[in-house]
Amino acid sequence: MTLTDKPIPTPTRWHILGAGAMGCLWACAMHSRSVPEAHTGAPVTLLLRNRAALSSYPGHITCSDLPQSLNVPARTVCHDSGTTTDVINNLLVATKAQDTMAAIASVSSQLAPDSRLVLLQNGLKVQQELSRLYGTARVFCLSTSQGAWLREPFNVVHAGDGDTWLGQLAPASAETPAPLQRLLDMLPAQQLNIRIDNNIGDRLWRKLAINCAINALTVIHDCRNGELLHLPDARQTLTALCNEISQLLPEIAGAPAMPDLSAQVQHVLTVTADNVSSTLQDIRRGRATEIDHLNGYLCNLAAQQHLPCPVNQSVLQQMRVIESQALRA
C-alpha cells in the first residue's frame, strides 16, 4: 500500500504528538486521505514540544510515498488561546515510550472528557498506565510493523510496508466493539494496512518479549539484528534470554505463554537481518532508550512476583551503563 490510495470524505481532525518518523508517516497518511472541499481547516495538526521546535518546522512534511510535500499545520503543546478549536478530540501519540506520560500531561487540559487517545508506543507499561488513568474505553493501542525513518526532520521515508493492528486493553472478545470499528473507519486503514485485533494485549506482549530478547543485545554487541545469530557470545545470551522470558511469562498475570519464543526471535532476526534496532539507533544518536519499558518493565513485573530473572537483570544493567555513557558523550 502507498499513502496515495483513494481519499475518503468527511475527515476527522487529529492532533499528533511526536514528529519523529512514525508521527510524520501517520500525519501524511491522515492528511492525504482527506478531501479538502469536504471540510474547513486541515484535518491534522502536529503538536511540537516548544517554540524552538516550532520555529524549525518548515510548514510541510515530505514523505517518500507522496509526489509532493504536504502542508500540515503545527503548533506547540502549550497553546492556550482559549478558543474551541483548541480542544483535542482525537490524539495520536507517536512519542517514545519514556516521553509519553509527560507529553500527554502537557496537553491534558486541552483534552475533552471523551477524547480518544491512540498509542503507538513500544512495550505495555504506558498503555496500561494510560488505560487505568483515562479508562479503557478512551485508550486505543496500535502495534505496527510499518518501517519508517527520517532523512532529516519532517522528511520521512516509508521504508517497509507492514501490518498495523488496532485494539483496546479490555478483556478479549470474539466480536468487535462498535467504538473500535468507528475508530478504524476514521484512520488511514488502507494506507497503513490497519486491522482490528480484539486481543491486542497478547499481541503487545509478544512484541514486548521479542524486543526484550533482541534490542538490548544489539546495543551490547553494537551490531545489526542478524549478527546476533552469528556472534557466539551474543547467541549464547540470546538463548538464555529467550529461555528466561519464556519461563517468566506464564507467571505474570495477563501475559500469554510463549514456549516458542526462541523460534519467533530467530525468525524476526532472519527477516530483519540488515536492520539496526531502534534502541541501537538511539544510542548512536546519544538519546535515551526505551529500555526501562522493555527489559526494565519485565524485571519489575518479575520482582513483584518474587521471580528471579538474572539474565534480564544483567542485560538491563549493561544497557544502563552504555546509555549513561552515550548521553554524556
Q: For residue range 101-156, list pLDDT tens digits in order.
A: 999 999 999 999 999 999 999 999 999 999 999 998 999 999 999 888 899 999 99
| Winning range, highest mean pLDDT, from 3-12, 61-70, 295-304 | 295-304
How far is the CA of 242 from the CAs of 77, 247, 277, in angstroms?
40, 9, 18
Judge whether residue 308 has pLDDT over 80: yes
Q: All 3 cell numbers of residue 308? A: 528471579
Better pLDDT: 82 or 272: 272
Averaged pLDDT for residues 22-32: 92
Task: Report pLDDT for 32.
Answer: 79
Task: Report pLDDT for 51.
Answer: 93
Task: Report pLDDT for 84.
Answer: 42
Task: Report pLDDT for 3.
Answer: 56
pLDDT in tens, 309-324: 999 999 999 999 999 9
Task: Report pLDDT for 6.
Answer: 44
Task: Report pLDDT for 37.
Answer: 40
**Helix or strand holding residue 102 (H, E):** helix 97-105
Lowest mean pLDDT across 28-37, 71-80, 215-224, 293-302? 28-37
Q: Which of 107, 137, 128 minimizes the C-alpha distance to 293? A: 128
Better pLDDT: 66 or 264: 264
**Phi, psi torsion values for 111, nearest 5 degrees:** -80, 135
Residue 119 and residue 95 in contact, taking contact as beta carbons nearer than 8 Å: no
How far is the CA of 49 from the CAs of 77, 83, 118, 212, in angstroms?
6, 20, 18, 29
Residue 140 and residue 116 in contact, taking contact as beta carbons nearer than 8 Å: yes
pLDDT band, very low/low/confident/very high, at 7 (cuts 50, 70, 90)? very low
Provide the percentage of residues in the chain whose pLDDT is more than 70. 91
Judge whether residue 40 has pLDDT over 50: no
Q: All 3 cell numbers of residue 324? A: 549513561
Beta bridge partners of 152: 155
pLDDT band, very low/low/confident/very high, at 35 (cuts 50, 70, 90)? very low
**Helix or strand holding residue 196 (H, E):** strand 194-196
Residue 28 and residue 60 in contact, taking contact as beta carbons nearer than 8 Å: no
Which residue blocks in 195-293 are alpha helix, DSSP H?
Answer: 200-220, 232-248, 261-271, 278-284
- Residue indicated by cell numbers 511540537: 48
207 is catalytic: yes
- The rounded distance, in Å, linking the Cα atoms of 88 and 213 is 37
Q: Amino acid letter at 94? A: A
Three-state DSSP at 5 gives: coil
Which of the following is catalytic: 6, 96, 125, 207?
Answer: 207
pLDDT in tens, 164-203: 999 999 776 667 788 899 999 999 999 999 999 999 999 9
Q: Amino acid letter at 178? A: A
Structural domains of the chain in order of their starting residue, each with its CATH number: 14-198 (3.40.50.720), 203-328 (1.10.1040.10)
What is the torsion angle, in degrees rounded to the nearest 10, for the CA atoms of residue 303, residue 308, residue 314 and residue 319?
-30
Task: Report pLDDT for 68.
Answer: 87
Distance, C-alpha 125 to centroid of its chain: 12
Q: Mark 24-58 as b/e (b = at least 16 C-beta within 10 Å).
A: bbbbbbbbbbbeeeeeeebbbbbbbbeeebeeebe
**Helix axis angle, 232-248 to 261-271, nearest 10°:** 140
Three-state DSSP at 152 gives: strand
Provide the percentage of residues in the chain whose pLDDT is more than 90. 78
Q: What is the pTM of this model?
A: 0.89
Task: Report pLDDT for 86.
Answer: 76
Averaged pLDDT for residues 281-304: 96
The mean of the pLDDT values for the chain is: 90
Judge whether residue 41 has pLDDT over 60: no
